[in-house]
Amino acid sequence: MGQKKLIKFAAIKEYENVLEYPQGMPGKWDSFFAELEKGTTPIDVESLAITAHLSDDASAKPAVHKKPLVLELACGRGEYAVGLGRMFPTHNFLGLDLKGNRIWKGASIANRDGLKNVAFIRTQIDQVTQYFAQEEVDEIWITFPDPQLRLSKAKKRLTHPKFLRLYQQFLKKEADSTHVGVVHLKTDSPNLYFFTKTVIDLYGLTLITATDNLYSTEFRQSEKWDNRCAIKTYYEGLNIANSNRIHYIQFKLDKPLPIALDEKLKEIIAEFEVTETHDSLARNGKQAME
């Protein structure tokens, strides 16, 4: 491992705003951020107060004022956690990624700029349910995740129902709000965009916004434009999918996701997916899911 990586790994171990594979965090994020704000060091995770549901029993919910918690999954350098943290001091933001050297970047910026509402958790997304209580998270952002283009890897896509079922275990369920219980996906992959739209459609989830050209003048001037989408990430700049278009979807995880439908999903995507871009599909006269 390179010397620079080792230095970054050592640095995040000392940062109060980075937790690596923490134990016992469900229900404690609001208290954690309160301690971060106070400048407590070190923050003793075990002694943090629980402020969110830990069971189905609504009466078990402690009556403590909570700041909304927004989670950025596969955050890389955490541009969304940091950028949103600047825009919304009234909310807490948590970036999650496996790679400590990437997290180091966002965590260092948050420390430098005194953003006490921004923190990071280093772990595997597959284990994400271990870290939150029911309805502890208000919103989820997923930006430029690996599109996992091979059909055999479809289950690894972060908007596959397999993952959405995990998110449902801790995402708020406020059916009447378009600001809470929402998942945002930003991607340059037409394939991941159409896949996600297919999932939303098949499982009957509520689609709030979808565009295959986020920065088009038309979309930017429409009432659907959301200033939060202007934040750019490292991978956004790389244009790996070579699509030259940023795709964006906002939807709610507001319906059950029956496992019985997963087979149907597999059949649908087997029909329309190839490892080409949507544009090349169109050029070849094939039909993609709209």
Ligand X SMILES: C[S@@+](CC[C@H](N)C(=O)[O-])C[C@H]1O[C@@H](n2cnc3c(N)ncnc32)[C@H](O)[C@@H]1O
Would you name the residues annotated as active-site residues? 146
Residues with Cβ < 8 Å from 67, sequence gap 6 or more?
30, 33, 90, 91, 92, 117
Nearest alpha carbon to residue 225 among 235, 215, 234, 240:
215
The site map against ligand X for 58-77 (x = CB under 6 A) is ----------------xxx-
Binds ligand X (CB under 6 A): choice among 6, 98, 151, 274: 98
Binds ligand X (CB under 6 A): choice among 108, 159, 211, 233: 233
Binds ligand X (CB under 6 A): choice among 167, 193, 194, 235: 235
The smaller minimum CB distance to ligand X, of residues 48 and 80, is found at 80
Tokens describing residue 171:
């995402």
Residues of span 124-153 touching ligand X by CB under 6 A:
124-126, 143-146
CB of 237 to ligand X, least distance (A): 8
Q: Rounded CA gap, 51 and 61, in Å?
A: 7
The smaller minimum CB distance to ligand X, of residues 105 and 252, is found at 105
The smaller minimum CB distance to ligand X, of residues 31 and 196, is found at 196
Q: Rounded CA gap, 121 and 75, in Å?
A: 10
CB of 1 to ligand X, least distance (A): 15
Q: Rounded CA gap, 182 and 159, in Å?
A: 13
CB of 234 to ligand X, least distance (A): 4
Is residue 251 at the binding interface for ligand X, with CB under 6 A as the rule?
Answer: no
φ/ψ of residue 98, rounded to 5: -85, -30
- Given a contact cutoff of 8 angstroms between Cβ atoms, the answer to whether 167 and 140 are in contact is yes
Nearest alpha carbon to residue 209 among 179, 242, 243:
179
Q: How many residues bind ligand X (CB under 6 A)?
A: 18
Task: List contacts with ligand X (CB under 6 A).
Answer: 74-76, 97-99, 102, 124-126, 143-146, 233-236
